Amino acid sequence: MKTRIQQLGLLAVFVGTLIIGCAPATKPDDAVVAEPGAQVGTVGGEGVAGASALQGMTVSYDRNAINDPKNVLSIKTIYFEFDSSDISEDDTEVLKHHGKYLSLHNDVKIRLEGHTDERGTREYNVALADRRAQAVKRLLLFQGASSAQITIISYGEEKPAALGHDEASWKLNRRAELVYE
Amino acid sequence: MKHWFLMLLIGCFSLPAHAVLKIDITEGVEGAAPIAIIPFKWSGTAMLADSDITQIVNSDLARSGKFSPVAEKDLLARPQRPQDIHFKTWRVSGVDHLVIGSVDKTSADRFKVDFRLFNVYRGEQVLGYSFTATRASLRTTAHQISDLIFEKLTGLPGAFDARIAYVTSQQFSGKPPEYKLQVADTDGYNPQTLLTSNEPIMSPVWSPDGSKVAYVSFETGLSAIYTHDIHTGERVKMAAFKGINSAPAWSPDGKALAMTLSKEGNADIYIMSIKSKSLRRMTKHWAIDTEPAWMPDSKSLIFTSSRSGKPQLYRLSLDSGARPKRITFEGRYNANASVAYDGKKVAFVHGKDGLYSIAVLYLDTGLMQVLTEGPLDESPDFAPNGSMIIFASQDRGRAVLAAVSTDGRNKQRLALSDGEVREPSWAAERN
């Protein structure tokens, strides 16, 4: 588990990178270049201790960026602790980029699917999964995405990603998925 | 505790298109009353294997946990008329009650079914009925006989001649999963599929008169609550609001549905009039409020709320405007209430140390009793007579239905031949 200081350090390096504006790893398409705030860069950088999952990932908001496996926007699943809808700092960072992307492409629509693991009752889990998707939505809106771009569907425990009955499966199932439409 | 592994029902000879539930008694049956059910005498036709009344009554009574039918091979004699019964012999063998009966085929599709129940110690008949049945209704007649015997000997109305609703799901490699909403007799026979979908189906619940099932279906890609008439097939989409549409519960008079909606941004409980679809918001809290269950007097709801930080059960008076009152205090996870028809007991899911069990709370004393061992038991629903609770469980990683007597003494498993089965609801009456 990373310490908070390491996470803050990562964040600082990340913000710095954005400001300095590293060479674009992906060539933005014309529409995006024309828009203000369409920064391109990489997350993290050399020398960040305690590797984050985000370290070294590309940041760009061109239209196809969501399909680039190296882009931070390729992270489309957010994981949660049991009976919680709190979003980790790393995932908050990921969602900032998705929010930004949506704000720059206001014709793009996204479906947020909330899920839980199988423990606890099914209908409570539907409400819990809804809360997870709502928490994701709030962060997207905060970055300028609009409500009209976002649909939420809560499946509760009905659509597990992993079928086992142990923590290894459960942690993969406590999730919100961002599905670009 | 004595362990029984009786396989009471197998096969799907009459209904090859449907998967059939089979029932295993897994635990019991201390204190169960011994009863001898003499094989019914068939005349005018050979015994119809799928309508073996003797077998049906046997398994119904065994399932209740209150009776221990004598195995057919252990029967001392097979009297067919009252005058043939040698009570002294049965008394010596420790049998309390004895049933004899007959099935006569009287015309092409008419059967006359008689049965008599005897008290062995007093040496006299205590119950006797005659029924007319068709080929298709013979199983129903058998369940009615079980109900009559059960009621005569326990004082509680029987609940065998009723229907259960449940959801099944099956995974096929390379294909989307298949979800089915089914209704069946309480022994799993006569399954009827109301809905098949590649998207989840959830939360089936019977209307009080047993004519409709309300449920949640994701068939449009979003959740919606429907009511479905099991006879006409008529479906009505009741709620398809933005956010979740979840946890429908019929009011005792059948005129309203309590439900959970998050259209205002957070899961809260509403009551919808079935006729006008007008909504009344019952809770307004930042926490999760869901899983409403009506008290039989319709004056309050029991529901699950995370307002204390973890899910617990609360009771909300519908007219007073008072704040909901917390009713569960033991353990960190208490959710999904089912209220017994006497309004005195609440069954729910009790989570402790990572194990989810079925527990019962006695509302007058506040005492709680844990009935099952988990690890992942859920969706409890009381039988109409309050003597049993049907619930969803896991058996070696597979989702199955199970039932436990309300005193926790008797447990049984209802396994589907293939696929997973869950979220049982036991109809109050057959309609």
Helices of type H across A21-88:
30-33
Interface of A with B in 15-54 (CB under 8 A): none
Q: Is A39 a residue whose pLDDT tops 70?
A: no
* Selected residue with higher pLDDT from A37 and B385: B385
DSSP assignment letter at B376: B
> Residue written as tokens 């199988």?
A118
Instruction: Compute the average pLDDT of residues B121-132.
Output: 96
The pLDDT value given to residue A32:
40
Contact call for residues A74 and A110 (beta carbons, < 8 A): no
pLDDT digits (tens, 9 = 90+) for B213-268: 999 999 999 999 999 999 999 999 999 999 999 999 999 999 999 999 999 989 99
The pLDDT value given to residue A45:
46
CB contact under 8 A, B200 and A154: no
Domains of chain A: 1-74 (no CATH), 75-181 (3.30.1330.60)
Q: Is B37 a residue whose pLDDT tops 80?
A: yes
* Selected residue with higher pLDDT from B291 and A11: B291
pLDDT digits (tens, 9 = 90+) for B256-280: 999 999 999 899 999 999 999 999 9
Q: How confident is the model at residue B26 (pLDDT cuts 50, 70, 90)?
A: low
As given in the structure block, the two tokens for residue A78 are 């957010």
Instruction: Compute the average pLDDT of residues A43-56.
Output: 54
The pLDDT value given to residue B408:
85
Average pLDDT, chain A: 80
Domains of chain B: 31-154 (3.40.50.10070), 163-426 (2.120.10.30)
Q: How confident is the model at residue A181 (pLDDT cuts 50, 70, 90)?
A: very high
* Selected residue with higher pLDDT from B115 and B17: B115
Mode of pairing for the β-strands spanning B235-239 and B224-229:
antiparallel
With CA atoms as reference, the chain B residue closest to A132 would be B266
The pLDDT value given to residue B409:
78
Average pLDDT, chain B: 89
Percent of chain B's residues with pLDDT above 70? 91
pLDDT digits (tens, 9 = 90+) for B145-163: 999 999 999 998 888 999 9
Which helix (H) or strand (E) element contains residue B351?
strand B345-352
Q: Is B430 a residue whose pLDDT tops 80?
A: no
Instruction: Compute the average pLDDT of residues A134-156.
Output: 97
- Rounded to two decimals, the ipTM of the complex is 0.87
Find, among B253, B203, B192, the residue nearest to B424 by Cα.
B203
The pLDDT value given to residue A49:
33
The pLDDT value given to residue B302:
98
What number of other Cβ atoms are within 10 A of residue B332's Cβ?
Answer: 14
Q: How confident is the model at residue A35 (pLDDT cuts 50, 70, 90)?
A: very low
CA distance to partner chain A, nearest, from residue B290 (Å) = 6
What φ, ψ does residue A19 adopt, rounded to 5°? -65, -45
What number of other Cβ atoms are within 10 A of residue B364's Cβ?
Answer: 8
Q: Is B99 a residue whose pLDDT tops 90?
A: yes
CB contact under 8 A, B267 and A121: no
Q: Which of A121, A127, A151 faces B244 most closely, judged by CB atoms?
A: A127
CA angle A175, A13, A29 (to 5 degrees): 70
Q: State which of A14-28, B57-71, B124-138 shows the largest mean pLDDT.
A: B124-138
Find, among A11, A90, A89, A9, the residue nearest to A49 by Cα.
A9
Q: Is B8 a residue whose pLDDT tops 80?
A: no
3-state secondary structure of A65: helix
As given in the structure block, the two tokens for residue A79 are 């994981």
The pLDDT value given to residue B62:
84
pLDDT digits (tens, 9 = 90+) for A99-139: 999 999 999 999 999 999 999 999 999 999 999 999 999 99
Torsion angle, CA of A30/A32/A38/A43, rounded to 10 degrees? -80
Return d(Cα B384, Cα B377) in angstroms, integer.
20
pLDDT digits (tens, 9 = 90+) for B176-213: 899 999 999 888 888 899 999 999 999 999 999 999 99
3-state secondary structure of B136: helix
In single-letter form, the type of residue at position B215 comes to: Y
What number of other Cβ atoms are within 10 A of residue B329's Cβ?
Answer: 12
The pLDDT value given to residue B151:
94
The pLDDT value given to residue B399:
87
Q: Is A12 a residue whose pLDDT tops 70?
A: no
Return d(Cα B156, Cα B384) in angstroms, integer.
10
CA-based radius of gyration for chain B:
23
Q: Which of B203, B243, B336 faces A130 most closely, judged by CB atoms?
A: B243
Q: Is B112 a residue whose pLDDT tops 80?
A: yes
Return d(Cα A34, Cα A31) in angstroms, integer.
5
The pLDDT value given to residue B417:
59
Return d(Cα B410, Cα B347) in angstroms, integer.
16
3-state secondary structure of A52: coil
- Does the beta carbon of B393 lie under 8 angstroms from any beta carbon of chain A? no
CA distance to partner chain B, nearest, from residue A5 (Å) = 28
β-strand partners of A180: A110
Q: How confident is the model at residue A24 (pLDDT cuts 50, 70, 90)?
A: very low
Q: How confident is the model at residue A6 (pLDDT cuts 50, 70, 90)?
A: very low
pLDDT digits (tens, 9 = 90+) for B300-319: 999 999 999 999 999 999 98
Instruction: Compute the average pLDDT of residues B356-385.
Output: 95
Return d(Cα B391, Cα B368) in angstroms, integer.
18
DSSP assignment letter at B65: S
Q: Which of B265, B267, B354 faces A127 most closely, judged by CB atoms?
A: B267
In single-letter form, the type of residue at position B42 comes to: W
What number of other Cβ atoms are within 10 A of residue B373's Cβ?
Answer: 12
The pLDDT value given to residue B189:
85
CB-CB neighbors (< 8 A) of A128 in chain B = 288
The pLDDT value given to residue B21:
55
